Amino acid sequence: MKMTKIDIVTRPGKLEELKEALNTIGVTGMTVSQVFGCGLQKGHTEIYRGKEYNINLLAGIKIEIVVCEVPVEKVIATVKRVCSTGKIGDGKIFIYPIENAIRIRTGEEGAIAILDPKDIRKDLV
Amino acid sequence: MKQLIIRIGTYILFMMFTTTTAFAEASVSNEFPKIDTGDTAFLLTCAALVMLMTPGLALFYGGMVRAKNVLSIIMQSFFLIGLISVQWILFGYTLAFGPDINHLIGSFSWLGLATVGQVPNTDYAATVPHMAFMIFQAMFAIITPAVISGAFAERMKFPAFILFTLLWATFVYDPFAHWVWGTGGWLREMGLLDFAGGTVIEILSGISGLIIAIFIGKRKDYNTEVILPHHLPMTVLGASLLWFGWLGFNAGSAFGANGLAVHAFVTTHAAGAAATLTWVMTEWLYHGKPTVLGAVSGGIAGLVSITPAAGFVDVLPAAFIGGISGVLCFLSVSRLKAKFSYDDSLDVFGVHGIGGIWGTFATGLFASKAINPAGADGFFFGNPHQLTIQLIGIGASVLFAAAGTYMILKIISALAPIRVDADQESVGLDLTEHGERGYIYQDLTAGSPLAFSGNEDPAREMTNLNWGIWPPKP
């Protein structure tokens, strides 16, 4: 079964809402990291003892998920709905094909490795 | 050889025995001067308060450097509690306060605290054991070189730092403290008013900081990369401890639990409070935001400026001195520093140098015998001559600090490198000088690009991250 990796880089404040929304469409696993980045935005200014600094790299979060059963389009639509504010800095979504996945604990490979055992449909096994 | 050691050892033991006997005789035969328990309790408490200022300073400075250098700057303060205390006990105290030689320095009579014991010394503090006065002054001697460390933060080698502070304490601090506070010191005899160290502590450290910042050069990333304080709450905690200790620093300088001590406590607090307001207001006007770093910096600037004046001026002039200091120090760190383009990392000159010069000058304006009969009247109380004396005091401290620091730096640089190399600087002094990290995770903006690396080959290190294990196995 085809596996797809989706990276979402977005505002830190959207994390909780996005986690909930992804959960409701059946995405159960994810890896979240704090990241710094810049895109079109110019950053912001901070002042320390009267000296102004331009901060170009802004704090963001990166959510990495891998899906097989959940349609990629559904994930994209959900992320767009939750994370879009219409302002610069909403972030990006990147989509990659996945070659293989291995569950370290059991050694299972392929789609099974990223699925919850109780969700696995009989025809897949 | 063995015989020689035994002979010296016997001599030292003999000396210790005889000095102890001398104490015992003195305390039995001499009923006067009498120890006042209240004064003694107060001075010891104040000494403890001032002791806490040095770790407070470590946190104040620690929050303002980048994450990769937090331990190095904290170490530079904390280590001095050890180094200068030992120096002070062995020979620092006698150089500063010992019996006068030519109005310039104390003699070696009190080497190793010989005869400095439980009997009061009426020249300095008549109602407390001499040793209480000694340990109170020890805390001043510790924090002064610790203040300087802010000027060369993030780029000095630790061995050079030890050598510098030891020489500086011995050849700059101790003689100058004698000039101002020691019996027979020429500035004291001239009538210089310096209640708790406007010249001895603030101007000496501020000017020395400026000289060393220029001598050692700017930080590698200065003006090319963003260098931000990594932990402002830590800075606020440190500044608060400084303020807390400062009340003992100035009130204790009355050397008794008396009205003057209360007065100094109140003037100190008033000046710190007023400067907090004025720094925040000035910065707000200039840059549109009232910053927290500005508030705590203002507090420190006010406390610096009132230090020479605390026991000589009334409360309203004290608040005025502090208020002006907040504006002056803000302008010097935000304007003067940019204009002359030196890298005084944590603004030792801008806050302590400028604040100390202003405070020492203002003491000559507002001092009044109505506040302290042992002091003098200032310019506004019919004695313009006092202002001249204060200016001489400022001039002497500026010149002595600049010349002394420069010579010490020249000597050290002939012996060993003072500054870390570029690679060490980019990795950070915590790892390269001390083999430790302040935080397991260091972020991109506050840490180093090689935050996980202690090895020469960053590429190899990056593929071999040792999560939670330090140092990495070879």
Smallest CA–CA distance, residue B327 to chain A, in Å, is: 12
Is the confidence at residue B200, as pLDDT, over 80?
Answer: yes
Smallest CA–CA distance, residue A49 to chain B, in Å, is: 6
Q: With bands split at pLDDT 50, 70 and 90, how would you rate the model's confidence at B471?
A: very low
Contact A57 B228 (CB under 8 A): no
A 22-81 residues with CB < 8 A to B: 34, 36, 46-55, 57
Q: Which of A34, A36, A50 sits opposite B330 (nearest CB)?
A: A50
Is the confidence at residue A106, as pLDDT, over 90?
Answer: yes
Distance CA B299, CA B275 (A): 6
Q: Which of A50, A53, A54 sits opposite B333 (nearest CB)?
A: A50
Distance CA A92, CA A62 (A): 10
- Chain B residue with minimum CA distance to A53: B226
ipTM metric? 0.72
Is the confidence at residue A124, as pLDDT, over 60?
Answer: no
Q: Which of B287, B294, B444 sits opposite A36 (nearest CB)?
A: B444
B 428-467 residues with CB < 8 A to A: 443-445
- A7-45 pLDDT tens trace: 999 998 899 999 999 999 999 889 999 888 888 777 788
From the list B387, B384, B388, B382, the residue with the least C-alpha distance to B363 is B387
Of A116-120, B369-373, B379-383, B445-449, least confident by mean pLDDT is: B445-449
Smallest CA–CA distance, residue B352 to chain A, in Å, is: 15
Q: What is the pTM of this model?
A: 0.84
Query: Sign (positive/negative) of CA torsion B265, B270, B271, B273?
Result: positive
For chains A and B, count residue pairs whose Cβ atoms are closer than 8 Å: 39
Query: Sign (positive/negative) of CA torsion B261, B263, B268, B269?
Result: positive
Using the structure block, give the residue that is written with the tokens 């071999």: B464
Distance CA B59, CA B76 (A): 11
Half-sphere exposure of B31 (CA within 13 A, CB side): 0
From the list A61, A24, A55, A21, the residue with the least C-alpha distance to A41 is A55
How far CA A94 is from CA of A10, B46, B237, in Å, comes to: 11, 62, 43
Distance CA B291, CA B293 (A): 5
- CA geometry: angle at B341 spanning B335 and B344, to 5°? 85
- A62-105 pLDDT tens trace: 999 999 989 999 999 999 999 999 888 899 999 999 999 999 99
Distance CA B174, CA B400 (A): 12
Whether B255 and B129 have beta carbons less than 8 Å apart is answered as no
- Chain B residue with minimum CA distance to A48: B293
From the list B417, B435, B309, the residue with the least C-alpha distance to B366 is B309
Average pLDDT over residues B243-252: 98
From the list B214, B57, B63, B66, the residue with the least C-alpha distance to B142 is B57
Smallest CA–CA distance, residue B365 to chain A, in Å, is: 29
Q: Which of B228, B294, B445 sits opposite A36 (nearest CB)?
A: B445
**Is the CB of residue B340 less than 8 Å away from at least one CB of chain A?**
no
Average pLDDT over residues B441-460: 46
Whether B448 and B427 have beta carbons less than 8 Å apart is answered as yes
Contact A49 B228 (CB under 8 A): no
Contact A50 B347 (CB under 8 A): no
Q: Which of B228, B444, B445 sits opposite A48 (nearest CB)?
A: B228
Question: What is the percentage of chain B residues whose pLDDT exceeds 90?
Answer: 80
Q: With bands split at pLDDT 50, 70 and 90, how would you rate the model's confidence at A120?
A: low
- B215-236 pLDDT tens trace: 999 999 898 888 899 999 999 9
The more confident residue out of B129 and B449 is B129
Q: Which of A34, A49, A57 sits opposite B297 (nearest CB)?
A: A49
- Chain A residue with minimum CA distance to B338: A51
Distance CA B246, CA B352 (A): 14
3-state secondary structure chain B: CHHHHHHHHHHHHHHHHHHHHHHHHHHHHCCCCCCCHHHHHHHHHHHHHHHHHHHHHHHHHHHHCCHHHHHHHHHHHHHHHHHHHHHHHHHHHHHHHCCEECCCEECHHHHHHCCCCCCCECCCECCCCHHHHHHHHHHHHHHHHHHHCCCCCCCECHHHHHHHHHHHHHHHHHHHHHHHHCCCCHHHHHCCCCCCCHHHHHHHHHHHHHHHHHHHCCCCCCCCCCCCCCCHHHHHHHHHHHHHHHHHHHHHHHCCCCHHHHHHHHHHHHHHHHHHHHHHHHHHHHHCCCCHHHHHHHHHHHHHHHCCCCCCCCHHHHHHHHHHHHHHHHHHHHHHHHHHCCCCCCCHHHHHHHHHHHHHHHHHHHCCCCCCCCCCCCHHHCCCHHHHHHHHHHHHHHHHHHHHHHHHHHHHHHHCCCECCHHHHHHCHHHHHHCCCCCCCCCCCCCCCCCCCCCCCHHHHHCCCCCCCCCCCC
Q: With bands split at pLDDT 50, 70 and 90, how would you rate the model's confidence at B186?
A: very high
Contact A50 B334 (CB under 8 A): yes
Contact A36 B297 (CB under 8 A): no
Contact A50 B289 (CB under 8 A): no
